[in-house]
Structure 1
């Protein structure tokens, strides 16, 4: 794919440059949300996935689909929307491409492959690191305070429930003493709840033991077809000059090659920027599970 076509994709995905965006001009990306419930007896749900997405993989996309199926067949929820919320540049992590690139890639990933998954740039528009609980509060505010909820199909508005969508590795960090503030965990798991996709090589049961007070609000989604693709492995393949195609969306692969992301030269450039302001160790461990 040539560079013009890739830029067209970014434009079609409604992405402005972060240089021209600000919190003052920010508008919530609600275009892909359902306008009303299909079943007025169901509880409307929006799934939010917070993470690095450096780069986004097919497993990140598949996670939303698995959760939607689980909700339809196993719960009283009706999924009315889903969002990627990429972490901002203040989150200093090895292999983290710029927020601009990661927003571009996530929007390219969903542009043609989904009609209901969107990308919200609100989090990376902040210069400071935002813990996950503040991101979920933001979605709750936009969906229910600003929008007033969703039409239940009878001309009445119904509040939309917001929940965190993540892989099993996130639950492991939540069960590790000292990594998460207790008040944040209480609000994330107690108030919002989480849908957690099983991941090969990750033991969820041990993590759930220490989080048993939130067990009813942590819904574990079985991964019926095992998939252990991760952003970390994609970056490693890239640095070794190996193919990354078919592990991540084709157009994201094209974007990575076009911009030279995750090569050794890119890493050297990233290393030069690590002398800038970093965030507290305690804060840096909260909420970024997508490797």
Structure 2
């Protein structure tokens, strides 16, 4: 019997937007994943608090963003755990929950470049293969070669959508239609997120 292939897709999702969805679907299809598990962090270790919406809002928006997709699911594991969210802690817990599953960590190429700064990167690659989505026209010269042999690359379209830009547009009262799924857009307006 084949092992369940689970892609762990972590992030602040502040807010989740259409580029997140497209990347997750491309990775799921190319890597033949049974499930993409979206994991909103409680607090990201490499970022300052800044404009981070409360964890329960980011969890709710992520649930709205993936609604109806049969191979996407959301976990509140990191939010329930609290504190700074470290991937190695999450992997340890997930492998207890999915002892027969194969967990693959979904990363952007930018995260691969800083992967050596993560907490316990050597243990991460012992526990999970890395699925890295490439940006067209980029090189890997500055990636730590220790980790490249543990990477499977997938192609993802270049989409100039960023959560930073979406938050800025919200502050300026500009439209975010077609940048986030409609249920997420309504949630942002209803809860007056990113207004100040």
TM-score, normalization: structure 1? Answer: 0.62
Match of 2:148 in 1: 215
Distance 2:49 2:110 in 1: 16
Distance 1:117 1:195 in 2: 16
Match of 2:164 in 1: 232
Moved more, 118-127 or 42-51: 42-51
Match of 2:181 in 1: 249
1:190 deviates by 3.5
> What is the aligned length?
194
Question: Do the aligned partners of 1:190 and 1:214 also contact (CA within 8 Å) in 2?
Answer: no
Question: Do the aligned partners of 1:90 and 1:127 also contact (CA within 8 Å) in 2?
Answer: no
State whether structure 2 residue 36 is matched by structure 1 residue 82: yes
1:130 deviates by 3.0
1:49 deviates by 1.1
Q: Which runs of 4+ in 1 moved over 6 A?
A: none
Match of 1:150 in 2: none
Question: Do the aligned partners of 1:237 and 1:244 also contact (CA within 8 Å) in 2?
Answer: yes
The correspondence for 2:86, drawn from 126, 131, 136, is: 131
Distance 1:109 1:122 in 2: 18
Q: Deviations over 1:113-153 (max 9, x none)?
A: x1111111111112322311111111111011xxxxxxxxx
State whether structure 2 residue 118 is matched by structure 1 residue 180: yes
Match of 2:140 in 1: 205
Distance 1:228 1:90 in 2: 22
Question: Do the aligned partners of 1:198 and 1:220 also contact (CA within 8 Å) in 2?
Answer: yes
Paired residues for 1:15-34 under 5 Å: none
The correspondence for 2:72, drawn from 117, 120, 124, is: 117
What 5-or-longer segments of structure 2 have no aligned partner? none
- CA RMSD across the alignment: 1.9
- Compare CA radii of gyration and give the structure with the larger one: 1
1:207 deviates by 3.5
Match of 1:57 in 2: 17
Distance 1:102 1:250 in 2: 15
Which SS does the other structure have where 1:205 is aligned?
Answer: coil
Question: Do the aligned partners of 2:43 and 2:85 also contact (CA within 8 Å) in 1?
Answer: no
Which SS does the other structure have where 2:149 is aligned?
Answer: helix
Question: Do the aligned partners of 2:28 and 2:35 also contact (CA within 8 Å) in 1?
Answer: no
Distance 1:228 1:93 in 2: 23
Distance 2:44 2:102 in 1: 28
Which SS does the other structure have where 2:165 is aligned?
Answer: helix
